[in-house]
Amino acid sequence: MARVTRPDRQDRTDPMKEEILAHLRYSLGKDAEHAALYDWRMALSLSLRDRMVDSWYQSTKASYTGHKKRVYYLSMEFLIGRLIEDVAANIGLTDEARAAVTELGQDYDILVHDEPDAALGNGGLGRLAACFMDSLATLGIPAMGYGIRYEHGLFEQDFVEGQQIEKPETWLAQRHAWEFERPEVSYKIGFGGHVQHHEGKAKWHPHETVLATAFDTPVVGWQGRWGNTLRLWSARPQKEFDLASFNRGDYLAASRSEALARTICRVLYPDDTTESGKELRLKQEYFFTAASIHDLLRRFFIDHDDIRALPDAAAIQLNDTHPAIAGPELVRILVDIHGLEMAEAIELARRCLGYTNHTLLPEALERWPEWLLGRVLPRHLEIIRSIEDSQQSHHPDSPRILDHGNVNMGELAFIMAHKVNGVSALHTDLVKSTVFADLHRIHPNRIVNQTNGITPRRWLYECNPALSKLITREIGDAWPADLDQLSRLRDRSGDHGFLQEFMAAKRVNKERLSNWVQEHCGIAIDPDAMFDVQIKRIHEYKRQLMNILETIAFWNEIHANPNGNWTPRVKIFGGKAAPGYHVAKQIIRLINDVAGVLNNDPVTKDLLKIVYPPNYNVTMAEMLIPAADLSEQISTAGKEASGTGNMKFALNGALTIGTLDGANVEIRDHVGPENFFLFGLTAAEVTERRSHHGYARAAIEQSPRMQKVLAQIAEGRFSPEEPSRYHDLVGNLWDHDHFLVSCDFDTYFDMQRRADEAFTQTSSWAAMALNNTAGVGWFSSDRTIRGYARDIWNVGSAIDGELEQSA
């Protein structure tokens, strides 16, 4: 199949260097003497991009000529992070690029670090989409990712006196090196207006229209064998501006349509725990979904003329309900434009659509007020009513899409998809038994499990060169594309010499992190201490609060016996809170307040430190994960759909302390229960416990240790300038504690001490860490994508034999 073409080294001396200089001159208009850091970084990026293009073209051509079925992955979020190292690694040019840049007198690492971290996502859901794009390309599955080219990605977080403040993110302030603008690929997207019904036909007359314009980023997989496209939509005004108004001097009216267009892709919504801009969010969802559906239909009609063949050519995957309007939009086009009967259109659309559920939290399930959806998308509301009628006529006991004046997007997505998938085994069971229990009874074969995965290219090969080199030396270089091979490392868990090398790689990463923390946070940490890391969005169910309470309890314990044989720890936190999520912001502030006291305590400062660098993002994860000894996966059982950070840590040789939640369950099965610090109530026990009135108070009353911690916080021990600062947070634990911090606190504390003890046994710890790396090959997103391809999409690889290889 298509491969990256590498200019022959004998023909040209140092082609990469020449290419960088050529880009500097002809793409950036600079010579080496006057080039700034930005110019060098752009020249390097453009040179790497050039090396992707041939493979990308050939893949696209092969998909067209082979009439291959394509996957369309619709996602509001793609959390791609930086790309220089990712691209260089995938096409095997890391060493060459570094050498060329060095020869040109530049520092490669500085160039790499100059690249903005493309944060077009909030967290796990967006990062999963990015890992899936990498695996689709690596497996040679013809695919397109569709999303929004937000002008501002996820906000930048800063701490002022310990409190989170948000600043706009500006990744597009400079030119984005990797994309190709496609002004000729534009679609009109309408909003509002009315629907005209005439002789049984409906016609939608939108009130306003914007143009969706494509920006394409090539996504080339491992060793450049196949390339797909990430197509992000940007909005443009349909009419540039109203010259008549302008000439009258009414400049605001003149640019009204421009303003709407700009607003639509202005900013990524910081998850839906905030109550803002509902209408705009709905418009964003429709904007990118409609553009994507238009685009895939245009492609379909290049080599088909019967719309009924669409399910053989297109598998459309909805990453959560955000693009769920795809169902009604496709039906609208089939009925209003292609003249199909409603029933046939619904069935045809369903055969194309799959829906991935990522949450059971009721507040995160999308519901639109019917009046709002009807105002923005009047024809779609009519179609949703037809979908509802059709469902009710077949299944009169079916849950409703339209319910108490709301449109339930979960039910809509379920009913319009031929397969609905959960993202871990436990989550899938809970999807069947809770949110979609009634729909599951009616459609017992629709829900399937595809446990999440992570790309081993970014999350081991690139972010952890020390460990990668060691692994390659031991088992060869096939593992990045066949991660199950890591299981061969299990043999080495009794080899003392190898374990020492394994831990030496960890040590390199811990030293790198220690230097970074010293430089950026001004905190000295000891690489010999246990690095205990919790990085993820701040949310009550993820229980960062339990982690900081346990930290205080440990601190108390040291004070009670300062000469005890304590295992030194560095507690590292990273993560952002949704701007409107007050409790999450209080938790951030508490962590920072506690850090202020503990880090300056002369008695404990060599034994316990807290580090919370602001603005956690993909790049920071790439540094923290390889340096971690202990991975905190401590959510209330039943709440974390899967988690993917948990997989990244285990892959990089960290042990997990965690509950039986999400994919932790499967990780523990794979690495072995003896290599996992398990504690806490199970999902069933959580449900049971909640039915007991006053369960939190009862649990706290039984835990003197927790009582003391809560009393210290309530008395202002960590906020002397405002002792009442955490009254609500503490009061809520006593009286409600919906996420059962109180019930799991003591077992968590005890398991932490077991981890302390285990960490002192350096060689058995090393063996446990190795067993984590060796055990998690199954969590490669290549395995996940093979599962989707087989069970949901019914697509194959365009690279012969690839899917069968290790299916």
Question: Active-site residue numbers?
Answer: 358, 536-537, 542, 644, 648
Three-state secondary structure string covering 434-498: CCCHHHHHHCCCCEEECCCCECHHHHHHHCCHHHHHHHHHHHCCCHHHCHHHHHHHHHHHHCHHH
| Residue showing the smallest CB distance to ligand NBX in the complex | 124
User: Which pair of structure tokens corresponds to residue 54?
Assistant: 């041939």
Helix residue ranges per DSSP H, 66-149: 84-90, 94-103, 108-114, 124-139
In sequence order, which residues have a C-beta less than 8 Å from that of residue 305 and are 6 or more positions away? none
Q: Which two tokens stand for residue 396?
A: 């009169």
The H or E element that residue 774 is part of is helix 762-775
Residues 638-657 that bind ligand NBX (CB under 6 A): 640-644
| Alpha-carbon distances of 474 from 52, 469, 471, 490, 491, rounded to whole Å | 30, 9, 5, 11, 11
| Of residues 89-148, those binding ligand NBX (CB under 6 A) | 122-125, 128
**Where in 493-552 is the site for ligand NBX (CB under 6 A)?**
none
In the bound state with ligand NBX, the residue whose beta carbon lies nearer, of 281 and 375, is 281
Taking the complex as a whole, the smallest distance from the CB of residue 286 to ligand NBX amounts, in Å, to 15
Using CB under 6 A as the binding rule, the residues of this chain from 339 to 378 that contact ligand NBX are 358-359, 364
At 740, which amino acid appears? L
Token pair in block for residue 541: 């169910």
DSSP 670-727: HH-GGGEEE-S--HHHHHHHHTSTTHHHHHHHT-HHHHHHHHHHHTTTT-TTSGGGGH
Part in contact with ligand NBX (CB under 6 A); list of ranges 335-343, 499-507, 637-645, 762-770: 637-645
Q: Can you name the residues that pair with 354 across neighbouring β-strands?
A: 317, 419
Please identify, using beta-carbon distances, which residue of 82 and 648 lies nearer to ligand NBX.
648
- If the CB atoms of residues 413 and 517 are measured against ligand NBX, the closer one turns out to be 413
Compute the distance between CA of residue 684 and CA of residue 662 in angstroms, rounded to an integer: 13
Helix (H) or strand (E) holding 516: helix 496-521
At closest approach, how far in Å is the CB of 358 from ligand NBX?
4
Give the whole-angstrom CA distance, residue 693 versus residue 87: 55
Of 514 and 642, which has the nearer Cβ to ligand NBX? 642
Strands 676-678 and 655-658, bridge-based pairing = parallel
Cα–Cα distance, 380 to 382 (Å, whole number): 5
For 328-344, the DSSP string reads: HHHHHIIIIIT---HHH
Tokens describing residue 643: 């988690």
The least distance separating ligand NBX from the CB of residue 584, rounded to whole angstroms, comes to 13
Least distance (Å) from ligand NBX to the CB of residue 273?
8
Closer CB to ligand NBX, residue 111 or residue 423?
423
Tokens matching residue 780: 């490669």
| Smaller CB separation from ligand NBX, 76 or 310 | 76
In the complex, the smallest distance separating the C-beta of residue 127 from ligand NBX, rounded to whole angstroms, is 8
Question: Residue 361 CB, nearest distance to ligand NBX (Å)?
Answer: 8
- Residue 52 in 3-state DSSP? helix
- Binding residue (CB under 6 A) for ligand NBX from 216, 272, 279, 791: 272
Q: Which is nearer to ligand NBX, 41 or 668 (CB)?
A: 668
Task: Tell me how far, at minimum, the Cβ of 356 lies from ligand NBX, in Å.
Answer: 7
Closer to ligand NBX by CB, 369 or 716: give it.
Answer: 369
- Shortest gap between Cβ of 274 and ligand NBX (angstroms)? 9
Query: Token pair for residue 95?
Result: 């060493």
**Residues numbered 655-684 forming contacts with ligand NBX, rule: CB under 6 A:** 662
For residue 701, the Cα-to-chain-centroid distance in whole angstroms is 39
- Please, what sign has the CA dihedral across residues 324, 328, 329, 334? positive
**Site size toward ligand NBX, by CB under 6 A:** 18
Assess 781 for contact with ligand NBX (CB under 6 A).
no
Tell me which residues in 434-473 interact with ligand NBX (CB under 6 A).
452
Q: Which one, of 204, 197, 231, lies nearest residue 217 by Cα?
A: 231
The distance of closest approach from Cβ of residue 710 to ligand NBX in the complex, given in angstroms and rounded to an integer, is 28
By beta-carbon proximity to ligand NBX, the closer residue of 274 and 702 is 274
Q: Which stretch binds ligand NBX (CB under 6 A): 148-156, 239-247, 379-387, 635-643?
A: 635-643
**Shortest distance (Å) from residue 299 CB to ligand NBX:** 28
Strands 163-167 and 156-160: antiparallel
Q: Which is nearer to ligand NBX, 162 or 643 (CB)?
A: 643
Considering only residues 421 through 440, tell me which ones interact with ligand NBX, judged by CB under 6 A: 423
Point out which residues bind ligand NBX (CB under 6 A).
122-125, 128, 271-272, 358-359, 364, 423, 452, 640-644, 662
